[in-house]
């Protein structure tokens, strides 16, 4: 099963994702795929906060800031694992700024990222993906931020179509849709 969780930053997405993956795993192994590259003290504090949230929940943490599809070769018995991928916003930013990525169109980057995430999801027992949503029309965005937000939103749209369930936080309420 592939589940996508979308909301604004600091909206409780991580807690929702951890609760869902714990329920879905039914006691089997859980893997937390961390995509954040810590930049500065704020990034390190965010990572520390997320580690504290996972304490005692029996997650194995794997740092993977790009190319999450490569994890299928490195996780033992992946077909028995439930994986929490946190967070698409970090993964998208990392992929967008990876060496050589500047030569790709938004469509090419979107397809690459979604294909890699879906490959991971097809190999494991369960995949829960956490993602942010941002408005595209903020006047204070610079060109790079505008491109990033557009790419993230395009990735979210495709993941919504391909996921079995989507939890989207709208006006403080979780709206669930299913694509069975």
Which secondary structure element, helix H or strand E, spans residue 167, and what is its range? strand 165-170
Distance CA 144, CA 141 (A): 8
- Say if residue 20 is preceded by a cis peptide, omega within 30 of 0: no
Q: Which two tokens stand for residue 19?
A: 């609760």
Q: What pLDDT is attached to residue 44?
A: 72
Q: Which two tokens stand for residue 141?
A: 């965005």
Tens place of pLDDT per residue across the chain (180 aa): 999 999 988 888 988 999 999 999 987 779 999 998 877 777 677 767 767 776 777 888 898 999 999 999 989 999 999 999 999 999 999 999 998 888 899 999 999 999 999 999 999 999 999 999 999 889 999 999 999 999 999 999 999 999 999 999 998 899 999 986
Q: Could you tell me the residue range of the domain that residue 146 belongs to?
A: 2-178
Q: What is the CATH classification number for the domain harbouring 131?
A: 3.40.50.300
Q: Which two tokens stand for residue 45?
A: 């504090």
- Give the DSSP letter of residue 116: H
Among 35, 15, 12, 11, which residue's Cα sits nearest to residue 23? 15
Q: What pLDDT is attached to residue 43?
A: 65
Distance CA 154, CA 108 (A): 11
pTM of the model: 0.91
Among 102, 109, 113, 112, which residue's Cα sits nearest to residue 143? 102
When divided into structural domains, the chain yields a total of 1
């Amino acid at each position: 099963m592939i589940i996508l969780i979308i909301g604004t930053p600091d909206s409780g997405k991580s807690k929702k994702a951890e609760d869902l993956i714990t329920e879905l795993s039914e006691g089997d192994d859980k893997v937390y795929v961390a995509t954040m590259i810590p930049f500065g003290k704020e990034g390190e504090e965010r990572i520390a906060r997320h580690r504290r949230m996972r304490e005692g929940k029996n997650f194995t943490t794997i740092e993977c800031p790009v190319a999450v599809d490569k994890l299928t070769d490195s996780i033992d018995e992946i077909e028995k694992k439930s994986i929490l991928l946190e967070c698409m916003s970090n993964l998208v930013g990392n992929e967008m700024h990876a060496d050589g990525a500047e030569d790709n169109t938004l469509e090419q980057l979107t397809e690459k990222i979604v294909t890699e995430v879906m490959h991971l999801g097809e190999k494991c027992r369960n995949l829960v993906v956490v993602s942010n949503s941002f408005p595209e029309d903020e006047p204070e965005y610079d060109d790079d931020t505008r491109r990033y937000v557009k790419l993230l939103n395009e990735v979210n749209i495709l993941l919504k179509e391909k996921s079995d369930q989507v939890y989207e936080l709208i006006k403080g309420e979780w709206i669930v849709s299913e694509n069975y």
